[in-house]
Structure formats: structure tokens, C-alpha cells
A and B are shown apart, each in its own frame.
Chain A
Amino acid sequence: MAKKLLKGNEAIAEAAVRAGLQAYFGYPITPQTELLEYLARRMPDLQRTFLQAESEVAAINMVYGAACTGQRVMTSSSSPGISLMMEGLSYIAGSEVPCVLVDVMRGGPGLGNIAPAQGDYHQIVKGGGHGDFRMIVLAPATVQEAVDLTGLAFDLADKYLMVSVVLLDGSLGQMMEPAELPPLRDPARPEPEWALTGARGRAKRVVTSIHLVPEDEEVFNQKLQAKYAAIKAAEVRYHEYQTDDADLIVVGFGTAGRVAQTAVKQARALGLKVGLHRPLTLFPFPEQRLADLAQRARAFLVVEMNAGQMVEDVRLAVNGRAPVKFYGRMGGVVPLPDEVLEQIKQLAETVGHTPHHSPVSCLPLDGAIA
């Protein structure tokens, strides 16, 4: 299938349809509304369910109900709307039913603004809802990655019976880029043995998140933690650029990582041995890979469009083996490559570096998903 010029939000919507999306429930909020509008037209054409809910609270609970049937279901929103969904996400995690959530982040806190930001890292990656739960979090930096990771989000949600999140910022949601869509998958699915479909010829089934006896709740929590450990062992994905011989490692996800790659490219042209590590999975976080990079790297620079959220995880992974500096823009401001380059230069001067003059090899931005 040839590449087409696609808008991020619409590309995610179509990728979800092609992954077998059977029901979508959502509520308008900028900058993700095109995703809802696209599915408002597309889903009825395919005799699949589209419903505009009365709130994000209702939308996530409609998703919860539809997910109980074992079908592929999704909702999407932006930061303030995601805050409203946290209750439902905790219940879904506590019930172990699969679904996909798309968060097209905007500036905050509060009503904030509609400009691109990454301030939802904590609430999505650490779980803003109550209880010890995790969601799989995939962070694309290009429209092609958004397409690919949306399909992956459904597969991982089904595999691990949990919420998978596609986490991007408003600029990627609004951006148009050439991307290739996968073929349409058959949405028909075998009925999972836990699905609520009516107790015909079998014992009744119950989907619930209650374990009233503390010891039972602890056993359930241990099961969740074992699942999360298995995900950490098997599902880490990241993109790297020029890390093989790098003294300095720049780390950023999504748009911040993409901007940082341009700065890294410029720094290489200046002879600085710098590389980029861009996590594609924020949970599971590539902590082992960062620990390995810290064996050789002299310093890390974390670039985010927030006050410094992922940097905490980088510091945990680096575990004191190298200094970890942070550069962030907030409130909907996207850092420019020049700003990041300046940070790289300053860091290189602080920790010292080994100049080199070998030819620069440039990997394509949308390189293979590791």
C-alpha cells in the first residue's frame, strides 16, 4: 500500500478501524477532535458502533462496558478529558478487560490551552487513577509511528488484558505527513472465555474489580504485578540515533524526542559525540537499555515538553552512574532544535567530550522499531 498524506489524528482513527475497532465512544476536546469526527463518519459506514458520550466520564465507562464483550473498543481525548477518565481506567485495570485509549496532550494544568505539551506523562505512565495499576504506553513521534503503534496498542491490550495508551501531543495529532496504512483486518474475533455475552449453555460470568477480602485483593495485585513484570521483560521498544559511540545521550519521547534528534544531528556536524535515545514504550520503560548506555555515556540530557516528568525515570535507570540534565519547555511551548543544541553544547563543555571528525551517518527518523 502506497504512502498517503495523513493527519495524525485521522491516521490514528483509520489505523484503529483497520486493527478491528468495533466500537468507539468519545467526547469532543481540542486537539483530538478530528479523531472523533473521522470515526463519526467512518464507523457507521462499516456498521460498527460510534457514540458521542455526554462526558469523558461516560465515554470511558461505555468503553468499559463494551470491552466486557471481548470486542476491540477505544476512546480518545486530551489532557483535561483524560483526568476525568482516571476513575474508569482504574476500574478497567482492576477488571482486566482490554481497550485502547488515545491521549493527544495539550498545555495544562487546569484548562490550560490547546497547544502541544507532554504534561500527562505522570498521569498516564504512573497511573493517575487509584490503586497499583499500569497501562501500556506507546509514544509515537511521527504519523507513521502513530499508525503502527495504534495497531500494536490493540494487540498488546488483547494480549495482556489491559489498557493500552497511544500518547502523543497536539502537534503530532494536527500534523500531516506521508504514512502507509496497514490493510483492513477482519474484526471478527473468537469470544474470550471471560466475555459477557449472555450465559447460553455455560455458567454465568462476572466482570468486577471488587476483592473484598484483603488477602484476596493482595493475591489479585500480585497477579497484576507479575503481568507487568512480564511486559517489562518482553515489550520494551525504543528508537536510537547515533548512540553507538556517544559520550552524551539525549533522551526524549514523542515530539520532544523528534526535535532533539535534529539537534543531535546538528551537534554531530559540530563534531560532538552525541546520540539520541527515544523511548517508544513509556511503560514498559527502557530502563535496562538506559542503564547499559550509562555504562559508557558521560552525561545524559532529557528533553521534555513539561517541567521534568520522564527525567525521573531516566535518573532511576541511570542510577547515579552519570549526571542527568533536564531541559523542558512548558505550557504548550515546543522547544526548537537550536535550544536543544545549546543545551548539548553546554553539557559537552561541562563534562568534557572527545571530538571526532568521522563522516556523519544519518538514520531515517522513522527508523525500525527496535
Chain B
Amino acid sequence: MTTMPSIAGPVQDEIVYARPAALTETVTHYCPGCTHGIAHKLVAEVIDELEIRAQTIGVAPVGCAVFAYNYFNVDFAEAAHGRAPAMATGLKRVLPDRIVFTYQGDGDLASIGLAEIMHAAGRGENLTVVFINNAIYGMTGGQMAPTTLPGQKTSSSPCGRDVETMGMPLRMAELLAAQPGAAYVVRRSLHNPKEINRAKKAIRTAFRVQQAGLGFALVELLSSCPTNWGIAPLDALKWIESHMLPYYPLGDYKLAEGVERL
């Protein structure tokens, strides 16, 4: 009696990495080396892991992330410059059981939209905010932002930011964390894999804070802009570490009661 050799089927490889369902299959318009793509992926992975894709509504800013609604596979609104927190407030107040997040850059959030973000935090508005701080206006071609560092050259501060005439950059995480209405305010960075992992955990917590109804949650992400900084992508990541981290220290600026149990 002979035994037939078993016919091996196709090898079932374990899927260890895939595009998150919360991202569309769209090529982004972001420049090579820009960290927006990483931030998008982290947000989308968190939406997948929390299984909230079908109940999430995003609000896009004016700035480089203006087309974020093309890349996230969730309902999306496109706000006027700086007004995303107000628009998100309107959405969330009418649909309190949905998850509403804004995705905003530093010109949008820290300059023209300062009133809207401050009062959303002050009200303890139950929103999640992803705040991209790359120290420059990206979409309009590299002008000085409220977060541009002292001495940093931009197209509207060509000799470097002169703090005597142009003032000092705003530290938004510190500013917002000081408001009693804010539940969770942290600063993270996207300049290396370790910090990217920490950033993802923070984004996850920021969504969990909203799910738990604890109030306003914001994750500031130090990000690179190789195109407008005028340096290569890898050097841009190093520039975050050497120049941005000293002025914008990473850390947890506000952990309201109940956040650490999430």
C-alpha cells in the first residue's frame, strides 16, 4: 500500500501589514519626505483599531491637509481656514454619539484659528484634534508661521525670524493645556520610529478620551516640511530633533482625571 504524497496548498502567509480600512486607495499630493502621510496613517490605524470608522466624521483644515478628505475613508467636511473646531463643534453638538475629529496645521490652528481652538478647549468640547506643527506655512509656499522658530528663514522672514519685530513662536500644547476644559493635551514627534509609535498611542488615547466623553483632546505632532525648509527629508527629520525639540518639548501637558485609566 502506497500513500499518496499530500498536495501542499498555497502557503497562507500571515498578513502583518496592510493599508488601514480608514484610508482610501489614493495617492496623496504630499511632497516626498513630508510627515503628513505618517500622521494620516496613524490616525487611520487608530480609527480601524477602535472600530469607529462608520461613526467618525473628520473636519479638514485649510493648508496642506486641505485634501485630507480624499485620503480618509470616513465622512468628511472641509472647513474655512482656522474654523475646523467651530465646524466640528456644530457637528458634535447635533450628533453627540459620533466621533468628530479635526486635522489642522499650525497656520490654521495657531494663527487664524486661535480663537476657535481656544474656545473649543475652554468649553471642553468633546472633540479630538490632530495638530501638525511643522513651523511653517506649507501650502502657500513656506511663509512664517506662528510656530516658526527664532532665526528660522522663511519666504516672509527671509533673513530669519527676528523676534524683535516678529515676536516669539506660540507653544500651543502648553497654552491649551492651561485651560480647565482641556482633558488631554500632549506633544509628540514624527522624527523617528520610536516617537512615531508614541505618537500613535497618544492619538489612540485622544480618540478614547472622546469616546469616554472626557472632553477636549489634542495631540500636537512635530512634523517636517523638507520642501519649504529647503533640506533633504532625512535632514529634515534631524532638524526636528535638533531645532524643534528644544523649543517644543515633548510630553504630556494635560491628563485630566480618568484619562490614565483609558
Contacts and interface: CB of A to CB of B under 8 A. Distances in A.
Interface of A: 22-23, 25, 49, 51, 53-55, 57-59, 61-69, 71, 73, 87-88, 91, 95, 196-201, 204-210
A73 B53 CA distance: 26
A55 B115 contact: yes
Contacts of A71: 94
B199 interface: no
A59 B83 CA distance: 10
Identify the 8 closest CB pairs spanning chains A and B, nearest first. A65-B90, A66-B90, A65-B87, A61-B86, A208-B78, A62-B90, A200-B54, A61-B83
B115 A54 contact: yes
Contacts of B83: 57-58, 61, 64, 88
A83 to B, nearest CB: 15
B122 to A, nearest CB: 8
Given A55-B115, A58-B119, A198-B57, 7 more contacts: A54-B118, A57-B115, A65-B87, A65-B90, A199-B73, A199-B75, A208-B77
Given A198-B54, A204-B73, A204-B75, A69 B94 contact: yes
Contacts of A25: 90
A332 to B, nearest CB: 29
A204 B69 CA distance: 10
B116 A54 contact: yes
Contacts of B74: 198-199, 204
Contacts of B175: none
B53 A69 contact: no
B243 to A, nearest CB: 33
B116 A58 contact: yes
A69 B89 CA distance: 12
Contacts of A73: 90, 94
Interface string B50-61: 000111110110
A73 to B, nearest CB: 7
Contacts of A198: 54-57, 74-75, 95, 98-99
A285 to B, nearest CB: 28
B202 interface: no
B196 interface: no
Contacts of A200: 54-55
Given A198-B54, A208-B78, A63 B73 contact: no
B80 interface: yes
Contact of A23 (B77, B88, B93, B118): B93
29 contacts: A22-B94, A51-B93, A54-B115, A54-B116, A54-B118, A57-B115, A58-B83, A58-B86, A58-B89, A58-B119, A61-B90, A64-B87, A65-B89, A68-B91, A69-B94, A69-B95, A91-B80, A95-B78, A196-B57, A196-B76, A196-B77, A197-B95, A199-B74, A204-B74, A204-B76, A206-B78, A207-B77, A208-B76, A210-B66
Highest count of chain B CB atoms <10 Å: which of A55, A68, A198: A198
Contacts of B116: 54, 57-58, 61
Interface in B217-251: none
Highest count of chain A CB atoms <10 Å: which of B55, B67, B75, B98: B75
B79 interface: yes
Given A87-B80, A206-B77, A65 B53 contact: no
A189 to B, nearest CB: 12
A73 B92 CA distance: 13
A142 B94 CA distance: 32
Given A201-B54, A205-B75, A66 B86 contact: no
Highest count of chain A CB atoms <10 Å: which of B69, B92, B93: B93
A196 B87 CA distance: 12
Nearest to A205: B75
A23 B86 CA distance: 14
Contacts of A91: 79-80
Contacts of A61: 79-80, 83, 86-87, 90, 116
Contacts of A23: 90, 93-94
Given A88-B83, A196-B57, A198-B54, A207 B78 contact: yes
Nearest to B92: A65
Given A61-B80, A68-B77, A88-B83, A208 B69 contact: yes
